[in-house]
Amino acid sequence: MDKNEIKKDLYKSKVFATFAYYDGDAGKLYYNIELFGEPYMFPISVIDENKLADDLRGAKFAAEIKGSDLNRWIIKALDANDLMKLS
């Protein structure tokens, strides 16, 4: 998947991401989102080296969030090979 195409799809589709669960052992929030009409799941790390992750400063997380507001974490998940396609 291309990063720019993902960003375009998020803004064009106006899709919302929905909270799936929190993994306390890994310190990650998991969200589901539809990209290009297909369901995906991605993590957001909330803990980094036993402290709040730097990119969370000022961020608010709800049960539903506009996908475009989460694009930095979706791209991070893509880069880390953590963007998981759901069946």
Residue span of the structural domain in which 34 resides:
3-85
Question: What's the whole-model pTM score?
Answer: 0.90
Based on the structure, what is the number of domains in the chain?
Answer: 1
Q: What residues contact residue 62 under an 8 Å CB cut-off, 6+ apart?
A: 19
Are 32 and 38 in contact by the 8 Å Cβ rule? The answer is no
Per-residue pLDDT of the chain (87 residues; tens, 9 = 90+): 889 999 999 999 999 999 999 999 998 999 999 999 999 999 999 887 778 877 787 788 999 999 999 999 999 999 999 999 998
Task: Give the separation between CA 45 and CA 66, rounded to whole angstroms.
Answer: 18
